[in-house]
Amino acid sequence: MQRLWSRVMTVEESAIGATDNFFQLGGDSISAMRLVAACQEEGLALTVSDIFERPQLRDVARSVTIIDDPNQCHNDEENDPPFSLYPWQESTETPAEATKWIASLCGVSPDRIQDIYPCTPLQEGLMAITMRKTGAYTNRMVYKLPESIDLDRFVAAWSQVATAHPILRTRIVVDTRATGGADTKLYQAVIDKPIDWQRPSSTTEYVSADESHPFSYGDPLSRFALVSEGKGGSNHFVWTVHHAVYDGWTLKLVLDDLASAYRGSEPSRAVPFKRFIRHLITNSETTATDSFWTSQLEGQTPSSFPRLPSATYQPRARQQLRHHLWSFDTKGLMELATPLPTILRAVWGLVVAAHTGFEDIIFAMTLSGRNAPVNGIDKIAAPLMTTVPVRMSLDSQQTMRSYLAAIYQQDVALIPFQHTGLQNIQEIMRRHGMMDRLDMNHLFVVQPELQLDQEEQSFGMEAQKAPALVDFGSYALVIECNTKTNSEIAVNFTYDDALLSPTEINILFERFQFLLSSVLAAVHEETKISHLLAATPTDVRRILSWTNALPATEPINSCIHHIFQDQALLRPEAVALRSWDADLTYKQLDQFSTTLASDLQEMGVKPEVNVPLHFEKSTWAIVAQLAVLKAGGTCVPLNPAWPKARNDAIITQTRASVILVYSDTNGDTAFSESDQFVTMTVGEALFEQRQERKTTREDRTMVSQAISNNAAFIIYTSGTTGTAKGVVLEHKSLVTTAAAHGAAYGIGPTTRVGQFAAYTFDASVSEIFTTLQRGGTVCTMSEHDRANDLSAALRDMRVNFLAVTDTVASLLDPANLPLVQTLVLVGERPSDVVVARWQQHCGTIMNGYGPTECSIAATCNPKLAVGQTNNIGCILSGAIWLVNPQDHNLLQPTGSIGEMLIEGPLVARGYLDDHLKTAAAFIEDPDWVRLHNLPTGKRLYKTGDLARYDTDGSLIYLGRKDNQVKIRGQRVELSEIEQCLTKVLPQSRVASSGVAVELATVSDRPVLAAFMAQLVEAEPSEGGHEGGDAEHQKDHDNGLVLPLSGCVRDRLLDVQSSLGDVLPRYMIPSVFIPVRTLPSNVSGKLDRTALRQALSRLSAEELASYSLVGATKQAPSTDLERQLQGLWARVLSISPNQIGASDSFFQVGGDSVSAMRLVAMCREEQL
């Protein structure tokens, strides 16, 4: 074995020891095949798997067995005579009948059929794709022939080669006789027929004509043409061949033999393809194959890259970029004792994981297929390559060495099953109820560069169109690593330019190159994967170049009311507020708010004193907010629509001594005055009283004590612990961001902004105070008009600027709002449908993004486009960095997905009286600041939002890293709902071992679903039982979800009602789903993906069966009730039968937005 290793790897025998590793000495899969062949020549049996499993010389020697009869394994005429592999036992026909049938499919006489045998899974798959996609897996090679060539000898040489290699005379046929067309069997027939040479006079014309003749069943799969372009022209040879009859290895064998035949030598003795076919038939044991592929692909569906825009999109990889990897660390490669293809695949897996942000990924990989234990496999001129799905599950805390070891073991385990075939793997998955389909959007290939023998290279054929060793089929991205030597690799990227840009491809290559070098350099270190995936200095330079190209925004050390007062002096008679209940000029608004501010100061309001405001839509709500700011206080908006308990909790937390309420909301009775606070009703009557009093106090100047770093607003958002958290926003943050986004939005003195957002929604601060700071007009409609006739209200107020969620924009017809010239979509991802519809009527459509903790408006995409609606643009003030979602001390490389960290003057102070949450979300100088020599003193907010940089430095929003969701633009922490649900269950005499809430989408409508494990009545009544109805439980035995029993349904109505006392309506689940148990992932945590998948499998009707509406429906009794039933069904996308006369609109799935849609429909129906 030492001697054979020396010969195969060109290493001195004396340098090879008994414990040396095959791969450390420079071995790879190709030299492993050569070693196997060398062993066979000496009567020794060894397989490539033996070498991979135990690569030490001593172990390889122990794996060798002696071949009893070395000649027997090569005597294929005795082992596999013609027609011996045709499945006669499955047929009643005679060989003559089968031959006649196959001949008819090929259009030849039966005596021309030399052999028939089954196709390999690869051949079956390639032909099936070609039938669906014309021209797929077809290669057309064009060679310029030297002037000195003897064309007759050239043609004769090809005849010899075609005789020696049956694959050049092979056709593939489909047999549907046994199944009547319901199923198909593919066979390959070897035809005894000479090459049919074409002799055109123009290469261009021939290639064009040849492209119009796709390969099909029964056709020759190799076509040959000699082009003589006349006097002064060149001779060209064109070989058109289908991948079902060749691969790169075959191409080398054939062309080497062609050169030999041309020079008068006999072609090499070919090893029959049938030997490999017999191996596949003999080793087609299903149990082991099923077990292997199910173990590889079980569990949740892995992520594929790149993501396709739709399930029906057909990618076309047509653009190419080529790169070279030169002179990397071969010493590290040897010391790793891992084959280069394994290392390259492992590194590519890291690239994809970094780029997508997913640790469970899948892609296709093409293998040579020549490490199967078949004697002489290196001499078989036939397509043995195979494509397999590769699933890679990464753990960012895993060390690089252990990761490489796992990938290597996966490669070794794959060898016996690599020829299963993708279509057969798909069938295995179907049989075992696994993922619906193999979504592999890119292909990774490692292959040695085609090295022809010296004799062939001197033959003189010059490739005009390089032979394609891999066809790209329907992949969106193909990466070919052509290994020239162990220190030089050519990397070709072929990609769909509708999905990927050249810049993105270059970034992928940079990352691939950097990671390969890092892996080889860290061979002796216990480097964690997470550290290898962090940003490089090149990444940081690129990020800084993007950030530095943006307009600089300095902090504005002023207060909101000071800048408003500047506008009031500048344009006193301009309309500041246009409202349903009162219009005010800038002068009037300034006077009214100053009067109220003076009163508030007398009541003890000063800087850092929190003042809750309980208002419906009104001019006086804005007067009150501005007055609190002038007095130096902090505005704390409450919502009359919220449960009293939620408002009370906020009042308690803010330690309010004064509460301002609106006269029309019965505020004086909603909050009973106590020793802790007093209420003041603010409305027109209050200012009339002040006017009548005319006291000397009126002449006193009100002086605000507020400074720029005092709190201006506290906005409450959903919290993870079951309690809302208050975000403290300072004056300078709001003023600075107002200047930045006000300019980006184009807000100025002629702007009339529709004030749509609730005061408790952070967007309202921007709608009101950004407008007032820039001299515009705030247009406020009544709560009634906002909900029932928004479009008319916007028209009446001549609104020309609107910032709303995509959901609200979808309810409006832009044709009916001709004055709206700017639409900013906020709060949720815009849809292509809405953007396309508004683009036809609206001059400017933007996308705005900003968490409350970053003063509402952080980024802006000023040119929102269909197909790019998740692009949120660039930062407006400050900077955004992307970090590892699990470790903010690791900066993500460009092109990779990371959590957005925002720095700058727009960052909030923190959470009110919650130092732990503030410290967790607002961080200072993570490790990468000093690592990359960046300026220190950074304070950053961890958004929890995932994004990646686009090629121009703008940001692509990709969702959340946690359990926070958006419902109609409102932030909702699912864990807050879960905490509240757990608290109210005992009160309703319902027990559950665990609860989890997830968000589903039904007909574009968000639906909150509460999963409840082992749901039972805590005190069951007579006949009571578990949540799962025993009568129907057998239907769900194999699933996660159980039916909902009537008894528990009634109790859950109490649960839902109790939730209404502590949560806003939009946070209350509308469906309650019993489950056997809450699923957990491998780390023992709640598997929310499994819950979301369970939700996605439920139809709208099935989901409705888990709502708490009574099972027995009271039918509508009047025409009007029946008409409303139909309208409800249309709005909610459910069957009318699911709606009874006594049902609540909100219990059957309605919400505030669908209620607005219902009102619009009723108006159309003249109701």
pLDDT given at position 1019: 45
CA-based nearest residue to 623, from 770, 778, 785: 778
pLDDT digits (tens, 9 = 90+) for 561-620: 999 999 999 999 999 999 999 999 999 999 999 999 999 999 999 999 999 999 999 999
Given a contact cutoff of 8 angstroms between Cβ atoms, the answer to whether 409 and 295 are in contact is: no
Q: What is the CATH number assigned to the segment(s) 970-1104?
A: 3.30.300.30
Per the prediction, the chain carries an average pLDDT of: 85
Domain 560-861: which CATH class? Answer: alpha beta
Averaged pLDDT, 151-159: 94
Given a contact cutoff of 8 angstroms between Cβ atoms, the answer to whether 214 and 135 are in contact is: yes
Residues of the chain with CATH 3.30.559.30: 296-449+468-536
- Tell me the CATH number of domain 1119-1164, given options 2.40.30.60, 1.10.10.10, 1.10.1200.10, 3.40.50.300: 1.10.1200.10
Given a contact cutoff of 8 angstroms between Cβ atoms, the answer to whether 787 and 832 are in contact is: no
Tell me how far apart the alpha carbons of residues 501 and 506 are, in angstroms, rounded to a whole number: 9
pLDDT given at position 682: 92
Tell me how far apart the alpha carbons of residues 10 and 5 are, in angstroms, rounded to a whole number: 8
CA-based nearest residue to 505, from 347, 313, 355: 355
Residues of the chain with CATH 3.40.50.12780: 560-861
Averaged pLDDT, 1046-1072: 81
What single-letter DSSP state applies at residue 605? -
CA-based nearest residue to 729, from 744, 750, 749, 712: 712
Strands of the 1071-1075 sheet, one edge to the other: 994-1002, 1005-1013, 1071-1075
Residue type at 634 in one-letter notation: T
**Is it the case that residue 330 has pLDDT exceeding 60?**
yes
pLDDT given at position 522: 72
Tokens of 19: 């414990």
Q: Thinking of the domain 296-449+468-536, which architecture would CATH place it in?
A: 2-Layer Sandwich (3.30)
**Is it the case that residue 699 has pLDDT exceeding 50?**
no
The secondary structure element, H or E, covering residue 653 is helix 644-653
Q: What is the CATH number assigned to the segment(s) 2-70?
A: 1.10.1200.10
Residues of the chain with CATH 3.30.300.30: 970-1104
Cis check for the bond before 306: say yes or no (omega within 30 of 0): yes
Q: How far is CA 758 from the centre of its chain?
A: 32
Given a contact cutoff of 8 angstroms between Cβ atoms, the answer to whether 554 and 662 are in contact is: no
**Is it the case that residue 358 has pLDDT exceeding 90?**
no
Given a contact cutoff of 8 angstroms between Cβ atoms, the answer to whether 4 and 38 are in contact is: yes
Neighbouring CB atoms inside 10 A of 808's CB total: 24
Residue 288's SS3 state is helix
Averaged pLDDT, 1150-1158: 78
**Is it the case that residue 182 has pLDDT exceeding 60?**
no
CA-based nearest residue to 1133, from 1157, 1109, 1159, 1116: 1157
Tell me how far apart the alpha carbons of residues 357 and 647 are, in angstroms, rounded to a whole number: 39
CA-based nearest residue to 38, from 8, 74, 78, 68: 8
pLDDT digits (tens, 9 = 90+) for 843-883: 899 999 999 999 999 999 999 999 889 999 999 999 999 99
**Is it the case that residue 994 has pLDDT exceeding 80?**
no
pTM, entire model: 0.75
Averaged pLDDT, 9-20: 90
Tell me how far apart the alpha carbons of residues 157 and 456 are, in angstroms, rounded to a whole number: 13
pLDDT digits (tens, 9 = 90+) for 951-991: 899 999 988 887 777 776 677 888 888 888 888 877 656 66
Domain 83-278: which CATH class? Answer: alpha beta
Residue 394's SS3 state is coil
Neighbouring CB atoms inside 10 A of 1046's CB total: 14
**Is it the case that residue 449 has pLDDT exceeding 80?**
no
Given a contact cutoff of 8 angstroms between Cβ atoms, the answer to whether 966 and 826 are in contact is: no
**Is it the case that residue 269 has pLDDT exceeding 90?**
no
Tokens of 180: 């009547």
Averaged pLDDT, 917-941: 94
Q: Which ranges in 943-1064 belong to alpha helices (H)? A: 974-984, 1046-1059
pLDDT given at position 1146: 76
Rounded alpha-carbon distances, angstroms, from residue 809 to 838, 969, 1003: 9, 12, 17
pLDDT digits (tens, 9 = 90+) for 817-830: 999 999 999 988 88
pLDDT digits (tens, 9 = 90+) for 187-244: 999 999 999 999 999 998 999 999 999 999 999 999 999 998 777 778 899 999 999 9
Tell me how far apart the alpha carbons of residues 855 and 871 are, in angstroms, rounded to a whole number: 20
pLDDT given at position 1078: 82
CA-based nearest residue to 876, from 917, 853, 848, 896: 848
Given a contact cutoff of 8 angstroms between Cβ atoms, the answer to whether 489 and 483 are in contact is: yes
Tell me how far apart the alpha carbons of residues 811 and 799 are, in angstroms, rounded to a whole number: 16
Tell me how far apart the alpha carbons of residues 1072 and 9 are, in angstroms, rounded to a whole number: 66
Residues of the chain with CATH 3.30.559.10: 83-278
Tokens of 442: 């890119």
Given a contact cutoff of 8 angstroms between Cβ atoms, the answer to whether 1051 and 1074 are in contact is: no
Residues of the chain with CATH 1.10.1200.10: 2-70, 1119-1164
Neighbouring CB atoms inside 10 A of 298's CB total: 12
Q: Thinking of the domain 878-962, which architecture would CATH place it in?
A: Roll (2.30)
Task: List beta partners, residue 726.
Answer: 716
- Work out whether strand 678-682 and strand 822-825 pair parallel, antiparallel, or are unpaired: unpaired
Neighbouring CB atoms inside 10 A of 915's CB total: 9
DSSP sequence for 85-112: TS-GGG-SS-HHHHHHHHHHHHTS-GGG
pLDDT digits (tens, 9 = 90+) for 33-84: 889 989 988 889 898 889 998 999 999 999 999 887 655 555 555 567 888 8
Percent of the chain with pLDDT over 70: 88
What single-letter DSSP state applies at residue 307? P
Given a contact cutoff of 8 angstroms between Cβ atoms, the answer to whether 251 and 469 are in contact is: yes
Residues of the chain with CATH 2.30.38.10: 878-962
Tell me how far apart the alpha carbons of residues 338 and 354 are, in angstroms, rounded to a whole number: 23
Neighbouring CB atoms inside 10 A of 832's CB total: 13
